[in-house]
Structure 1
Amino acid sequence: MVTETTSAVDESLTTPADMSEEAQAAMYNFIMEYNKCMMKGRLDAATQPQQVQQAANDILIKCDEVLEQLKTHLLANDVNESLVIGMTHKMRSRGARNLMTKAMNNMAAQAAAAENAQKMGEETTPAQ
């Protein structure tokens, strides 16, 4: 007697590579839009000093809308739900990691520049 679980039978095995060219193009547009959102968020945050963690959270929240659109698009094209969730989770995690790394590097560079400026100021001040 052969028995099958309905969840295994009902689950889609479609991957993004199985979608039509138009659907793949739309998927890549969502990915590019997400990357642009992250880049623009980093640039905007650099001009508005605030807590690094808060700036990163604000950027991620703003860009999550694009990931939701990507998720909706992939699910509408019958891509495997687990694959969609894994893909969007990985994109968000990678984006958050890159965002925090760049933000911390910027803070370190600003601190070093401030320290160098202070040293330069001390060297040019005549001793009394």
Structure 2
Amino acid sequence: MNAKDVIEKYYESANAGDWNTWLSLFDKNIVMDEQLAGHVEGISILEGAIGGIERGYSKFQNNPQHIVINGDEACVVSHISAANASGVPIEANVANYFRFKDGKIAYMANFHDTRPFDPFVNQSLG
């Protein structure tokens, strides 16, 4: 897949809750700087995070507003409309930076205000 295809599939699969397809877009040695989770290395960390995403969000939509692709790099400005497990709404503007290697996401970083995610981060899923 080229960068455009990967970007389209990334948002399509995340919005559909198709986490297996979403995971397949990442290189097994992915390095990610994630605003809430911190520095992440390796696909196994992302695989382990899927359960928390599924339990922690009752709704999750990440809709691209502006996409710039330049060779093996891309930046996507998007808007997240989500809700935590009990339905408390989350609205946030986000910027994602991607670097690709051999048709996979090799590095990713996201940038956003963390306060809108308090309903997700501070919930008890006991």
Both structures adopt the same fold (TM-score exceeding 0.5): no
Structure with greater contact order relative to length (CA < 8 Å, sep ≥ 6): 1
Structure number with the higher strand fraction is: 2
Which TM-score band applies after superposition, normalised by the shorter structure? under 0.3
Q: TM-score, normalised by structure 1?
A: 0.25
Q: TM-score, normalised by structure 2?
A: 0.25
Between structure 1 and structure 2, the one with the greater Rg is: 1
